[in-house]
Amino acid sequence: MFICYFAAPCGGHLTAPSGIILSPGWPGYYKDSLNCEWVIEARPRHTIKITFDRFQTEVNYDTLEVRDGSVNSAPLIGEYHGTQAPQFLISTGNFMYLIFMTDNSRSSVGFQIRYETACGGNVTGPAGVILSPNFPQPYPHGKECDWRIKVNPDYVIALIFKSHDPLCLPPPLFNMEPSYDFLHIYEGEDSNSPLIGSFQGSQSPERIESSGNSLFLAFRSDASVSMAGFAIDKSCQFWTYNYPLFAISIYRNHSFSPIC
């Protein structure tokens, strides 16, 4: 009987829908003076979720940077060392960049991080797309996807369902299993906020307008039938993609005008 270990690579470009990132030397101690960089790339219009299964480095000196983009100058999500790492992180786009740097003295066991194409995330800019998982194919069973939409304090958000707008064709898509799969929309930053509405089947309102600067969307599917799902956009540009649902438009001081 023998046991064979493989050497975990120091960096790489990861394009699989899911996988594991290990510190070099795992499950043993990592080496000194490392500079390892990983780029995780998901399909366009998808986000990435990383989950920290194990994390232990030398405090203050051996660090893991996580950045929200495809290069080492992308916006910093966080810098972690010691045992201080979150349970998980989600990108805002389809890239995430990890940089692991160690000094030339003490080392530790390092980390085991799982990555996967995520559903949900934070939507903060004036443009963006929200898709049901696996869109435009049927969404998977048993999914729980949360999106937080937040804009500047003096702005509000309008969710526009374009089902009757002749300027934005083809017809919209909103198709979920009735009574079992739902899209819940809340007035605020989480599911403890006031519920605006829960939508299922082919239900869709004309428009939903926030009273503040944030909305929370929660998609839930059960373990049985799945449908085509939905597409959400912040501008008319995405309506050429063939599967629009409604537009997310941001207006200042509640002064509304057509978005197309």
| Phi–psi pair at 236, nearest 5 degrees | -75, -15
Q: Which fold, 12-118?
A: Jelly Rolls (2.60.120)
Q: Show Cβ contacts of residue 17 under 8 Å, excluding neighbours closer than 6 positions.
A: 42, 116, 117
Q: What is the per-residue pLDDT for 195?
A: 97
More confident residue, 39 or 160: 39
User: Is there a contact between 137 and 173 (Cβ–Cβ < 8 Å)?
Assistant: no
Location of each CATH 2.60.120.290 domain in the chain: 12-118, 121-252
| CB-count exposure of residue 84 (10 Å: 0-12, 13-18, 19+) | exposed
Residue 108: name the closest of 35, 52, 55, 36 by CA. Answer: 55
> Which two tokens mark 84?
């201080």
Q: Give the Cα separation of 152 and 14 in Å (integer).
A: 34
> What's the pLDDT score for residue 7?
66
Q: How many C-beta atoms surround the C-beta of residue 71 within 10 A?
A: 10
pLDDT tens per residue, range 112-140: 999 988 777 777 766 555 677 777 778 88
CB 161 within 8 A of CB 205: yes
Nearest alpha carbon to residue 180 among 147, 223, 233: 223
Q: Which residues contact 65 (CB under 8 A, 6 or more apart)?
A: 72, 76, 78, 79, 97, 98, 99, 100, 101
Report residue 86 as tokens.
């979150």
Highest average pLDDT, of 17-31, 163-177, 217-231, comes from 17-31
CA distance 172 to 126: 21
What is the Cα gyration radius of the chain? Answer: 21
pLDDT at 160: 65
Q: What residues are paired with 146 via a beta bridge?
A: 218
Q: How many CB atoms lie within 10 A of CB 34?
A: 19
What angle is formed at CA 130 by the lines to CA 213 and CA 37, rounded to 5 degrees? 100
Tens digits of residue pLDDT in 15-50: 998 899 999 999 899 999 999 999 999 987 678 989
Q: Of 18-22, 131-135, 171-175, 211-215, where does mean pLDDT reach its minimum?
A: 171-175
DSSP 111-133: EEEEEEEES-EEE-SS--EEE-T
Residue 167 pLDDT exceeds 70? no
What pTM was computed for the model? 0.58
The CATH fold of domain 121-252: Jelly Rolls (2.60.120)
| DSSP letter string, 61-80 | TSEEEEESSSSTTSPEEEEE
pLDDT in tens, 75-110: 999 999 999 999 889 888 899 999 999 999 899 999
Strands (E), 190-245: 195-199, 207-209, 214-220, 229-233
